[in-house]
Amino acid sequence: MRLGDDALHALGASKFTDDPVPPADCLYLQPVLSTVAHGIIEQLDVSAAQDLAGVVRIFTAKDIPGSNQVGNVAADEVLLADKEVVYHGQPLALIAAESADIARQAADLVQVGYRALPAVFDAREADRLGLHIAPKRVFGCGDLDAAWPKCALVVKGTAASGAQEHMYLETQTAMAYPTENHGLKVISATQSPGMTQRIIARVLGLAMHQIEVDVLRLGGGFGGKEEQATPFAAMAALAAFKCQRPAKLTLRRGEDCIITGKRHPYVANFELGLDASGKILAYKVDFFQNAGAYADLSLAILERTLFHAGNSYYIPNMQVGAVSCRTHLPPNTAFRGFGGPQAMFVLESAIFEAARTMGVEASEIQRRNLLQAGQSFYYGMPVQHCQAESSWVQAESDFDWERRQQAITTFNAEHPLQKKAIAMMPVCFGISFTATFLNQADALVHVYADGSVSVSCGAVEMGQGVKTKIAKLTASTLGVAEHRVKIESTNTTRIANMSPTAASTGTDLNGQAVRIACLEIKRRLLKVAAGLLENTEIGDLDIVDERVYCLDKPTDIHWRKLITQAYLSRTALSAQAHYATPDVFFDRSVNKGHPFAYHVYGCASVEVTVDCLRGRYSIDRVAIVHDDGQPLDVKVDLGQIEGAVVQGLGWMTLEQVIYDADGRLLTDSLSAYKVPDLHFAPDIEVRFLDSADNPPGLLHSKAVGEPPLMYGIAAYFALVKAIQAFNPNWQADYHAPMTPERVLLALYAHQEPHA
């Protein structure tokens, strides 16, 4: 029996881009990287490298036959730097050699001379200098000027969140093969095969139909392979095209860390106004995004920040400003949450500061301001099918927050050198691409003469279980066993112009297209069945458990017989379908519209224990009520929730990206950059929201990839509360991550000396 994608993973039998044995004539590639963050290239001498035995060719910008341009959203990013270097680690040249070792040796022999230029690494400094990717954008609602005088309390402050390394298991890799008639087949570890195809065609000066991009699966992506896999696929394609030999590029871990961008660091100024009861009346925030050297996806991420600045709360008067600042770091890029987590952290910081000033728990303010049905988001979309309050109420009841807080209070009174705390985090996250045109997908479904089924769509499997869900959906729609269904690799010759697998839309969009195609084939099959049965209408028939049923009673027509009869009667057993998300739009001239198909809600509590002698801490427990609609696959969704939560906890606590004063990455390995491991991972209890439904979703389900990451934000505030239980004199600076070093310093900041 054929194994599903999940079983292949469990057995270690899944194949990835780097696994196939390269052909004997394969070239191995190595980029030559800049060693300064900003400068003019005055010399690029490749002669010594070219003379090394085994070096076949060295490519520079002048060898690119088409356009030296890999920028997608904005055409501002070169494949190989030709005049100016704008970040440390930027590719300058490409070595093609008979082995990877020779290519690396040759790269070290390339001599580069620079005229150094000033470099900027801080977003606020870039803003001061006018270094912007695009002009500032502002969303808003209500009347702030009229609201401030009505506030009993106004708090002001700043908040900042750091970068985050994707640290996928599989580094950036690609392999390209020349085909006949000046064509290429490219095997790429990309979340966006369609965009990779388009950029390669641009770089080589070819038509898109001459480029085939194929993706079997990724060893993790998290957004880091949405845009940033493209340059490496383009390098492999350039070498294969010019040399007419297969070419392969696989980055080592340190190279991957140095070259690629991270989650965007943000800094923000906030001002929050509340009435005496804790009702939020006004919120003003200005975000400064550190985009890095090129636009990449920064503007789309910034827009998502603008959309999620209010999180799960209703705030009648808001002004949300944001600007993307150009710095001399590698271009930062998509990361799970896509600008939403950075926005939510700032508002939660403002709420925490207001609670501190009022002398109440932050949860009181959070609970009082949750969104309600009938209200509207500040960007004009009505709040529909709202589950903000129901998620909170169920979490409060199921996990008995009051009892847990009492236990924490008792523990803290009895343990002078250990302190516990709990914090809550509601989440509201919109599902759709905010670029409306991306909300479309295609599918191609074949039923073969033996009854087996092949499905092609634009969804890229990267560990999130999209193939498992689509196989399950296909089987249930056609009424057959799941083992009959094969989900093919994601390929640009079968699916044209596909949107990236991102924004938690992979199953929603592609699953809808697959379902439409399956329903069309099923309609044709039932027409055949009606012809085999006397006096039968198609509406009376269905296919269940591989048998035709008539008026809910089984007939003698099983699946194989039905397929044989359909083939013999010349009935089409293939179908192509297109799906476009209905009713999504946004008018950027006024920043109003209906940008999302629906929202995902949920609520979590995070409990921590701090060792107040050493500064070490543990995340003890995360308890979640998550709004998942009607789940397509509960096990897949649980895995996604747990993984996202741990990734969010890591961003808030352990993971600290550090560059030196010259823009050189210091945290370029797993010995220098700490990610969550099994010892760090807490007890995670997930309960799905009772009686949840989602009419706009695929079979009433909801997307699950990104929203749970934001639950991890509560860890920061739980740590702050635990520190303050030991050292009441310390006040949070709302700067994440809260690493053990920062915890230790906070525990003893402003302490009175002991006698």
List, by residue number, the catalytic residues: 706
Angle at 564 between CA 563 and CA 566, to 5 degrees: 65
Of residues 134, 131, 135, 133, the one with CA closest to residue 121: 131
CB-CB contact of 425 with 603 (8 Å): yes
DSSP SS3 for 393 = helix
Question: Could you give the angle at the alpha carbon of 496 between the alpha carbons of 492 and 497, nearest 5°?
Answer: 110
Euclidean distance between CA atoms 468 and 488, whole angstroms: 12
Q: Is 213 exposed, middle or buried (0-12, 13-18, 19+ CB in 10 A)?
A: buried
- The closest alpha carbon to 213, from 227, 199, 228, belongs to 199
Residues 6+ apart with CB under 8 A from 351: 272, 280, 362, 365, 366
C-alpha dist (Å) from residue 569 to 75, 242, 532, 559, 573? 53, 50, 11, 15, 11
Where do we find the tokens 């209703």?
A: 314
Query: Taking the mean position of all CA atoms in its chain, how far away is CA 448?
Result: 36
Beta bridge partners of 624: 604, 686
Q: Alpha-carbon distance 667 to 438, whole Å?
A: 35
Letter string b/e over residues 156-185, b meaning 16 or more CB atoms within 10 A of that residue's CB: ebbbbbbbbbbbbebbbbbbbbbeeeeebb
Tokens 């959906």 sit on residue: 473
Give one DSSP letter per residue of 396-421, joined into a string.
Answer: HHHTTHHHHHHHHHHHHHH-TTEEEE
Angle separating helix axes 340-358 and 634-652, nearest 10 degrees? 60
Nearest residue to 65 via CA among 203, 207, 233? 203
What the block records as the tokens of 108 is: 């070290």
Cα–Cα distance measured from residue 95 to residue 112, given in angstroms and rounded to the nearest whole number: 14
Q: What angle do CA 389, 395, 400 make, to 5 degrees?
A: 130
SS3 at position 723: helix
